[in-house]
Chain A
């Protein structure tokens, strides 16, 4: 599984304000591999993307692309306030 993450928005409203990240989950050592699989499971992401906004001012928006072993890609647009802190920490480690 490949995870690609691009970010935009935030206080600056700048598309380039966060780096683009790409990670091949299958190449990661445990427990990172398992944590990534759970955090970026597509059904889970779809649920999170539906969470209503509490306060959106200046929050980053992530465009997360998850590509499975059959080269099937799914794209999710998720604000950072919709992701649990543990997932944000994972993104920061990528």
Chain B
């Protein structure tokens, strides 16, 4: 391919493949291509450092995918059936995955966090399988591996490219991470990765975060059978510590209002592009500016009424599957959702008009 023809044996700095394309190759290429792309990015970076032209711009995060980019879920697999959950106890250590304590079909093991992780993974699997025809996170039935009791007093949860991990919280800032919108958020990072990925910085990173919040919230709403007006649209409700002044970590309905606390500070999320936060922290504010596309999704659901995991969720899911742009901006994503809405409801439909209105209201116009 172009990659090897153009670069092998040449000074990679003079390679005709621009850095953004290397980032995409590193994210989506097969294992060999991804390795070469990362290596070239790294050499470019070293040269940049040597020249000291910039104050270390850094290499955008890259993901190593085990296989080629593929979109599976627009044509549901015939095998689509059942989750294969494997919940481990990390023993408050950092090594993953830890000791297997509950496998698929086992009775509850009595470890609360493990049973919550098991049940939560089931709800999220069921959302993607039954509503969107996706067989697990990779679309090919991969096992749902999770570790609870990850590290000691650990204030975090994450998806590491292959599994979920949940801390217990320190009891002060956070009391748990085993709440369905959080579990759905982490698992959605897996879906996003296998759908082609969104580079985890700046606007594409904030989209990665927002899409994870959307499907986390939809998993929760669906499990509770809530219509749009019955849902609280909170991400991480009840996970904050007992002394923290806040209801959740984020609010899709009212970004910026989830908490205001002496220790945690004020929820920094904007809901409109006028208040977009430019920062180098948090990978360029990925957990901050996600408030903007989060709110657009909420508005769209609110205009439509009914069950948000149905048409709105299908539109967002279809847009994710067909995005094919790991560096997408908010405007690119808005376009993609418009295309998906047109595909599903027809050109000029009331749904597409309402979606356009939702994007416009958060400052992303057409």
User: Contact residues of A with B, CB < 8 Å?
Assistant: 8-19, 50, 52-60, 81, 85-86, 88-89, 92-93
Contacts and interface: CB of A to CB of B under 8 A. Distances in A.
What secondary structure prevails in chain B residues at the interface with A? loop
Nearest to B157: A11
B59 A52 contact: yes
Contacts of A11: 156-158, 177, 182, 185-186, 236, 249, 287
Contacts of A12: 155-156, 174, 236, 249, 287
Contacts of A85: 93-96
Q: Which of A19, A52, A60, A88 has the most CB of B within 10 A?
A: A52
Contacts of B185: 11
B228 to A, nearest CB: 25
Contacts of A17: 155-156, 173-174, 264
The 8 A-B pairs with the shortest beta carbon distances in the complex, nearest first, are: A13-B287, A55-B161, A88-B94, A85-B94, A53-B61, A10-B156, A58-B158, A56-B61
B88 interface: no
Contacts of B113: none
Contacts of A15: 265, 281
B214 to A, nearest CB: 15
A16 B173 contact: yes
Nearest to A60: B156
A23 to B, nearest CB: 15
Interface string B166-207: 000010011001000010011001000100000010000000
